[in-house]
């Protein structure tokens, strides 16, 4: 296992190019299962999660190739509707092969993904939506076994206790694209990644309206064709580099970003007194004089993303005053709090709230990454801490950030990879 070793205190400066969105790419790869025709996906980030999804596609009947950011997938002659535990358990997004397999083969057996460090993470909304489309689903031996005589469009409400669900909306939208008749999903997830999947399905011949809003209407078609699609830029990676610029009091030009996807983050940072200059697909982020504390509540899109919670917390750790961070999507997503406190932060957790009292300086320490975005928060803290920080278990980071250490080093950070 590798760890990242960071010498803190360098102001980051220069340009960074944002990669394609992981969370847009993974469901789009699942969508290739809806057709036998060749599919091309461009601007794909080279990540551990991308490779996991490619392995799953190969098992499920695709010859999938990944070269210089371009993935091609075409039928490999295998017909299989079983996605096993070993593959699905490592990555939750793989559960969204269920909808496409069911629509294409009328049956599917997909391992339940299980919980993870950020919380329980149920799949009831996925199952509710697919059942509404006319499938029978049972859970046996840790697997979700689904069958249908033919999917039929339905009018459904997909909101849950914590709001809409990104992957459940994806799963149901993909299945509905090949169902007979019209499906209306109320309380659909509005995330840009869901809209990007819809755009890709439309290229395949699907009839979809309302994506990007809470009501999506899908008129089923008999068959879908191959596609050529470029995934949207990763808004969470872009947001992470925005914080990298601020936390080090640097000046980073972030390229290949869609600022419209980051409005809640931009708004909060502006409230904190940050200067953000946008020009086309580039954004320059710097601090005018000092930053003010802010209160942040994570919410479904267009609210503040839960995937940016740990990073903004790292910034608030060194912002004088009291900030309150409230997590409304995953109330237990606070594993990074104890690690940040080990670096000298003053954070107190109270249920779904974290109360952050800004300190003058963090000090470098050995810390452990617990999940993907928590790891990013710890790396950011390490960039500004006095002395050396080593972040272990960085395989979490590799699941979602393409070349993070190389990109940070390109901006001047003193960061290196070492064997643990």
Active centre residues (catalytic): 116
Nearer of residues 169 and 389 to ligand UD1, judged by Cβ: 169
Shortest Å, Cβ 397 to ligand UD1: 14
- DSSP state letters, 81-110: -EE-HHHHTT-GGGGGGHHHHHHHHSEEEE
| Mask for 22-41, x = binds ligand UD1 (CB under 6 A) | -x--x---------------
Element (H, E) at 235: helix 235-247
Q: Is 122 in the site for ligand UD1 (CB under 6 A)?
A: yes
Which region, left, alpha or beta, applies to residue 187 given φ > 0 means left and ψ of -120 to 50 means alpha?
left
The residue from 162, 203, 230, 349 that contacts ligand UD1 (CB under 6 A) is 162
Write down the least CB distance from residue 115 to ligand UD1, Å. Answer: 9
- Identify which of residues 167 and 291 has a Cβ nearer to ligand UD1 in the complex: 167
Nearer to ligand UD1, 5 or 26 (CB): 26
Cα(240)–Cα(383) distance, rounded to whole angstroms?
A: 12
- Residue 375 near ligand UD1 by CB under 6 A: no
Supply 126's token pair.
């996925």
In the set 3, 43, 62, 92, which binds ligand UD1 (CB under 6 A)? 92
160 binds ligand UD1 (CB under 6 A): yes
Q: What are phi and psi of 183, to 5 degrees?
A: -115, 135
β partners of residue 287: 274
Angle between helices 22-31 and 166-177 (to 10 degrees): 30
Taking CB under 6 A as the criterion, the residue among 48, 109, 126, 211 binding ligand UD1 is 126
125 binds ligand UD1 (CB under 6 A): yes
Answer for which of 18, 71, 93, 243 binds ligand UD1 (CB under 6 A) is 93
47 closest CA partner among 402, 407, 405? 402
Q: Which is nearer to ligand UD1, 399 or 407 (CB)?
A: 399
CB of 114 to ligand UD1, least distance (A): 12
In the region spanning residues 190 to 209, those forming contacts with ligand UD1, defined by CB under 6 A, are 193
Tell whether residue 123 is a contact of ligand UD1 (CB under 6 A): yes
Burial class (CB in 10 A: 0-12, 13-18, 19+), 348: exposed
Considering only 165, 187, 319, 389, the residue that binds ligand UD1 (CB under 6 A) is 165
Identify the helix (H) or strand (E) that includes residue 15.
strand 13-17
β-sheet bridge partners, residue 209: 217
- 115 is an interface residue for ligand UD1 by CB under 6 A: no
Residue listed under structure tokens 């995953």: 330
Binding ligand UD1 (rule: CB under 6 A), the pick from 245, 306, 319, 370 is 306
Q: CB of residue 55 vs ligand UD1: minimum separation in angstroms?
A: 16
Question: Beta strands 215-219 and 182-186: pairing type?
Answer: antiparallel
Candidate residues 18, 88, 168, 246; the one interacting with ligand UD1 per rule CB under 6 A: 168
Stretch that binds ligand UD1, among 122-130, 178-186, 254-262, 278-286 (CB under 6 A): 122-130
Interacting residue with ligand UD1 among 227, 241, 304, 330 (CB under 6 A):
330
Q: Is the peptide bond before 149 cis (omega within 30 degrees of 0)?
A: no
166: contact with ligand UD1 by CB under 6 A: yes
Nearer to ligand UD1, 161 or 420 (CB): 161
Q: Would you count residue 47 as binding ligand UD1 (CB under 6 A)?
A: no
* Best CA proximity match to 337, nearest among 317, 307, 358: 317
In the block, tokens 């490619």 appear at 54
Judged by CB, which is closer to ligand UD1: 183, or 264? 264
420 binds ligand UD1 (CB under 6 A): no
How is residue 398 written in tokens? 């590799």
Options 77-85, 162-170, 334-342, 384-392: segment touching ligand UD1 (CB under 6 A):
162-170
The DSSP code sequence of 293-336 is P--EEB-STTSB-GGGHHHHHHHHHTSSSEEEEE-SS-TT--HH
Give CA–CA dist 26/283, Å, rounded.
26
Binding site for ligand UD1 (CB under 6 A): 23, 26, 92-93, 121-126, 160-162, 165-168, 189, 193, 306-307, 329-330
């Amino acid at each position: 296992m590798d760890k990242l070793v960071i010498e803190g205190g360098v102001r980051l400066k220069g340009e960074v190019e944002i990669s394609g969105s992981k969370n847009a790419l993974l469901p789009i790869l699942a969508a290739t299962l809806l057709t036998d025709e060749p599919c091309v996906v461009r601007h794909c980030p080279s990540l551990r999660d991308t490779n996991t999804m490619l392995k799953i596609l190969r098992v499920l009947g695709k010859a999938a190739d990944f070269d210089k950011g371009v993935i091609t997938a075409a039928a490999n002659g295998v017909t299989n509707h079983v996605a096993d535990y070993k593959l699905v358990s490592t990555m939750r997004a793989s559960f969204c092969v269920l909808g496409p397999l069911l629509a294409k083969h009328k049956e599917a057996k997909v391992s339940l993904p299980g919980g993870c460090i950020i919380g329980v993470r149920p799949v009831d909304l996925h199952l509710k939506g697919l059942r509404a489309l006319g499938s029978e689903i049972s859970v046996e031996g840790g697997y979700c076994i689904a069958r249908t005589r033919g999917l039929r469009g339905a009018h459904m409400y997909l909101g849950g206790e914590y709001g809409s669900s990104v992957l459940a909306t994806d799963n149901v939208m993909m299945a509905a694209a090949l169902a007979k008749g019209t499906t209306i999903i109320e309380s659909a997830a509005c995330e840009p990644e869901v809209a990007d999947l819809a755009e890709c399905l439309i290229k395949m011949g699907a009839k979809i309206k309302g994506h990007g809003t809470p009501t999506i209407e899908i008129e089923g078609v008999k068959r879908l064709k191959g596609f050529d699609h470029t995934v949207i830029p990763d808004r969470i990676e872009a947001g992470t580099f925005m914080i990298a610029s601020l936390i080090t009091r640097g000046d980073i030009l972030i390229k290949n970003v869609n600022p419209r996807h980051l409005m809640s983050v931009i708004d909060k940072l502006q409230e904190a007194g940050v200067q953000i200059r946008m020009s086309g697909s580039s954004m320059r982020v710097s601090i005018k004089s000092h930053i003010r504390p802010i209160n942040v509540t994570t919410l479904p899109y267009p609210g503040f993303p839960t995937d940016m919670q740990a990073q903004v917390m790292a910034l608030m750790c060194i912002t004088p005053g009291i900030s309150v961070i409230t997590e409304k999507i995953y109330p237990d997503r606070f594993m990074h709090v104890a690690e940040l406190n080990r670096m000298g932060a003053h954070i107190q957790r109270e249920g779904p709230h974290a109360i952050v009292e800004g300190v003058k300086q963090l000090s470098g320490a050995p810390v452990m990454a617990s999940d993907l975005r928590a790891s990013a928060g710890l790396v950011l803290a390490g960039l500004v801490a006095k002395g050396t920080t080593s972040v272990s278990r960085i395989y979490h980071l590799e699941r979602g950030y393409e070349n993070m250490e190389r990109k940070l080093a390109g901006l001047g950070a003193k960061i290196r990879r070492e064997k643990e």
